Structure 1
Amino acid sequence: MSRIGKLPITIPENVDINYNDSEITVKGKFGTLQTQIPTVIKITESDNILTVGLSEQTRSVRALHGLYRTLINNMVIGVSEQFEIILELKGVGYRAAVQNNEIILNLGYSHPVNIKIPNIISVEVVQNTTINLKSCDKELLGLFAANIRAWRQPEPYKGKGILYKGEQIIRKAGKSAK
């Protein structure tokens, strides 16, 4: 049995969970999330505590136990509290703005970069160099943040690029003069 899989999931008061053999739906203050679950994963609920179990004990099924427990837990946390990722733009002239459901990034290219914002993600730009991303879907939020970051990944010589908040870039020494 998985150590993570056997941990119980506490359900907050404002979260409603509906499940059957193949799907789970979680509704809360910040939205509704649903996902498909394999039929070998069994969910039981009692006294606002959700437990994830298995119907059989094969190696491939046991590998899914912790995964689906974590996915369901992330859904519960997301609809009740939301997830947040903060990106920082470091570099001369690097700026961001939100306009008409798009993020417009000036990253030193000859053209601005326009990225469409998914409906489930809210974006706020602070001081032109900090992007706050919030969503109830942790997976989609991480993919969107990585997509933005891919336009200008941090480089080790000057430390310029798009960084996650608190990320440390290991700097390299440049060429040494003779």
Structure 2
Amino acid sequence: MSRIGKLPIKIPANVNVTNDDSTLVVKGQFGTLEQPIPKILGVEQIDGNLIVSLKDETRTNRSLHGLYRTLINNMVIGVSEQFSLTLILQGVGYRANVQGTTLVLNLGFSHPVNINVPETILVEVVQNTTINIKACDKEQLGLFAAEIRSWRPPEPYKGKGILYSGEQILRKAGKSGKK
């Protein structure tokens, strides 16, 4: 039995969970998320907790047990609290702003970079160089942040680029001069 899979998931008061045969739907104040559940797993709600149970004990089923328990836990946390990420633009002249549903980045290219923001994601720009991203779906949040970061990943010589908050860039020495 998976150690993570057997842990119960506490359901907050403002979250509603419904379970069909193959789909789990979680509704909260920040949105609604759906997750298809394999037939080898059973999800039951007991005393304000969700318990993910395994019907057949094999190696791959045990790994799916822990995976789906974590996915369901992330759904519950997302619709009740929301996930957030902070990106920092580090470099001379790097700026960001939001125009409607488009994130406009000036990253030293000859043209501004326009990225369409999905409707389930909230983007806020603070002081032109800090981008706060919030969403209830952790997977979509990470994919969108990675898409933004892919335009200017941090480079190891000067440390310029788009960094996650709290990220440390290992710096290289560069060229050593003549001696």
Q: TM-score, normalised by structure 1?
A: 0.99
Aligned to 1:17: 17
SS of match in other structure, 1:142: helix
Q: Report the equivalent of 2:177.
A: 177
Cα RMSD, aligned residues only: 0.6
Tell me the CA shift for residue 35 of structure 1: 1.1
SS at match of 2:68: helix
Partner of 2:31: 31
Q: Which residue of 1 aligns with 2:143?
A: 143
CA distance in 2, matches of 1:33, 1:132: 22
Runs of 4+ in 1 over 4 A off after TM superposition: none
Aligned-residue sequence identity (percent) comes to 67
Q: Secondary structure at the match of 1:77?
A: helix
Question: Any gaps of 5 or more consecutive residues in structure 1?
Answer: none
Aligned to 1:2: 2
- Structure 2 Cα separation of the partners of residues 14 and 165 of structure 1: 30
Task: Give the equivalent residue in structure 1 for 2:110.
Answer: 110
Separation (CA, whole Å) in 2 of partners of 1:11 and 1:85? 23
Alignment correspondent of 1:55: 55
> What's the TM-score, normalizing by structure 2?
0.98
Question: What secondary structure, in the 3-state scheme, does the structure 2 residue paired with 1:132 have?
Answer: strand
Alpha-carbon distance, 1:96 to partner? 0.2
Q: Name the CA distance, whole Å, in 2 between partners of 1:20 and 1:55.
A: 17
Matches within 5 A, 1:142-161: 142-161=142-161
Confirm whether residue 127 of structure 1 aligns to residue 127 of structure 2: yes
| Residue identity opposite 1:32 in structure 2 | T
Letter in 2 for 1:172: K
Aligned length: 178
CA deviation vs aligned residue, 1:138-169 (integer Å, no higher than 9, x gap): 00000000000000000000000000000000
Distance 2:45 2:152 in 1: 45
